[in-house]
Amino acid sequence: MMKSLFLALMLAAGASTADAAPWPLYRDPVYDGAADVSIIYDRAEKLWKMFYTNRRATMKLEDRDDVAWVHGTAIGVATSADGAHWRYQGTARLPASCTDATSWAPELFYENGVYHMWLTVVPGIFHRWGVPGAEGRIVHLTSNNLNDWSCDSKVDVGTSRIIDASVLKLGDRYRMWYKDETVGGLIVAADSTDLRSWRKSGEPVSTTHAEGPKVFQFKGSYWMVADAWKGLMVLRSDDATHWRQQEGYILSEPGVHATDQAIGQHADVVVSGGRAFIYYFVHQGREPQAAADPHWWQRTVIQVAELIYTDGKLTVDRDAGLSFQLIAPDQ
């Protein structure tokens, strides 16, 4: 009786009854290299699904400069009923006809009964960055159920060296932001009316070099977070065209909790119930195991924190405990 009364009072007061999200939020049980997440709600299964780059972080290559472990990657999939507690589901079944040995940075988008994925594909496994042939491209796949995927199109914006798509609908058109390595690794945009034919739009959003952009709407503005390799840069816009970069970088200082003691990188943001939750990855080089294993730093885990809007800026306290439950979107 007392327990029921206490619960009723908590609900009446608007308090959350959700369990706190753990540290780490999620780690891949196969290669321990989860990164670059994109989160979407599965309308049929009534579950949240996390698609992510599945780096082969447990590989111990003799050459410390060998980056083959970041290649040869499948796309991992995890599921959650609440967005705070995740379970490994396996890897995405993607057709070989439009993908390749290396898959990175999925971007998920839903509209009118169809799920869309924009995927960065690299043609093979490479041992050094920037060598001939190691050029990323973005391909477009579609699905009716988030399990069975079909090749749809290739993103053609006049250059093949593009990675890390983020897509948002703007009125009667769509805009994609991505990293263009032919302009020094800046974030640029392209527009489409059908999600298949894209035309480059405007100048780079910032002079800051970055990757992994994520664009979302929150508190009456458009926002972008992107991985600047020293934390995440934050930009704000009234029209998703002209951007103002916020001073400093979020998640630039290590957290205090175990597994969260490095900069936050390549994130997704889910806006739900008037709150914004940022899912980011963290390298594990400061964990105790790294003292005995020089390859331990390759491992990456996923963490979550809440973005707080104050005086026109976004901030985040990665050390604060976080209890929440993502709300299923309208069908």
- Per-residue pLDDT of 31-43, as tens digits, reads 999 999 999 999 9
What gap in Å lies between CA 305 and CA 269, rounded to an integer?
A: 10
Burial class from Cβ neighbours inside 10 Å (0-12, 13-18, 19+) for residue 316 reads buried
Average pLDDT over residues 209-223: 98
What's residue 226's pLDDT?
Answer: 98
Can you say whether the dihedral through the CA atoms of 130, 133, 138, 141 is positive or negative?
A: negative
Looking at every residue in the chain, the average pLDDT score rounds to 94
Does residue 10 carry a pLDDT above 70?
Answer: no
When divided into structural domains, the chain yields a total of: 1
- Report DSSP letters for 243-308, one per residue: EEEPSS-BT-S--SSTT--S--EEEEEEEETTEEEEEEEEE-TTSGGGGT-TTGGG-EEEEEEEEE
Amino acid at 77: V
Backbone φ and ψ for 289, nearest 5 degrees, come out as -65, -25
What's residue 18's pLDDT?
Answer: 67
* pTM, 2 dp: 0.94
- Per-residue pLDDT of 270-303, as tens digits, reads 999 999 999 999 999 999 999 999 999 999 999 9
Confidence of residue 19 (pLDDT cuts 50, 70, 90): confident
Whether 287 is in a domain gets the answer yes
Cα distances (angstroms) measured from residue 272 to each of 73, 186, 226, 327: 30, 29, 20, 6
- Per-residue pLDDT of 168-179, as tens digits, reads 999 999 999 999
Whether 115 is in a domain gets the answer yes
Whether 323 is in a domain gets the answer no
Whether 7 is in a domain gets the answer no
Domain containing 139 equals 22-316
Q: CATH number of the domain at 110, please.
A: 2.115.10.20
SS3 at position 10? helix
Whether 325 is in a domain gets the answer no
Q: What is the largest CA-CA distance in the chain?
A: 70
Whether 1 is in a domain gets the answer no
- Per-residue pLDDT of 231-278, as tens digits, reads 999 999 999 999 999 999 999 999 999 999 999 999 999 999 999 999
Cα distances (angstroms) measured from residue 106 to each of 92, 99, 283: 10, 12, 19
Whether 12 is in a domain gets the answer no
> Are 262 and 270 spatial neighbours (Cβ–Cβ below 8 Å)?
no
Whether 327 is in a domain gets the answer no
Does residue 76 carry a pLDDT above 50?
Answer: yes
- Per-residue pLDDT of 112-165, as tens digits, reads 999 999 999 999 999 999 999 999 999 999 999 999 999 999 999 998 899 999
